[in-house]
Amino acid sequence: MIRSSLLFALAVPLFAQNPVTDAVKTAYGRVKQNLIETAEAMPEAEYSYRLTKEQRPFGSWLEHTAMGNYNLCAGMRGSAPPDEAKSLSGLTAKSEIQQALKKSFDYCDAVLNSMDDRKAATEVTAGERKVVPVQSMISLVASLNEHYGNLVGYLRSKGIVPPSTARNARKQ
């Protein structure tokens, strides 16, 4: 019985129609949630906070993340980033930064939801360069996790439990 259950559990992903894009979308969804909740958790007065004078302020990390979302997801689509990406520099209010971050995720959601494994493996032209969307999808998830990792330090230094840690503690 255990052997047949294990065999079934291992075989199910093989029958998935889009195992690669489904896996990337799942990882993207987790880190997207972490970043949105991070933006909500930090008090507005701390959006200008820097861990050191050489580092970006907290709010600038979120702006940078939103810009990266637009750039990577536009590349997957084979297009230039939308006009919203041009208005991201210099935002200071928490509500503006949160809204910009959420809009960038909405943009990426639409691009990722249009992907399947076949489309993700088909080269597109983005400006003057060739892009294979699946490579950009993986880069997106890696970049978002890197940014979340940086922001965790900002939260912890202010005594705020990071969203992923808080969720894991609630599960136990």
Q: What is the pLDDT of residues 140-166, one digit of tens each?
A: 999 999 999 999 999 999 999 999 999
Cα torsion 134, 140, 102, 70: sign: negative
Report yes or no: 104 and 70 within 8 Å, Cβ to Cβ: yes
The model's pTM is 0.88
Residues 6+ apart with CB under 8 A from 49: 42, 57, 58, 154, 158
Q: What is the mean pLDDT of the chain?
A: 91
pLDDT at 7 over 50: no
- Distance, in Å, from the CA atom of 94 to the CA atom of 48, rounded to the nearest integer, reads 10
Nearest-CA neighbor of 86 among 99, 96, 100, 105?
Answer: 100
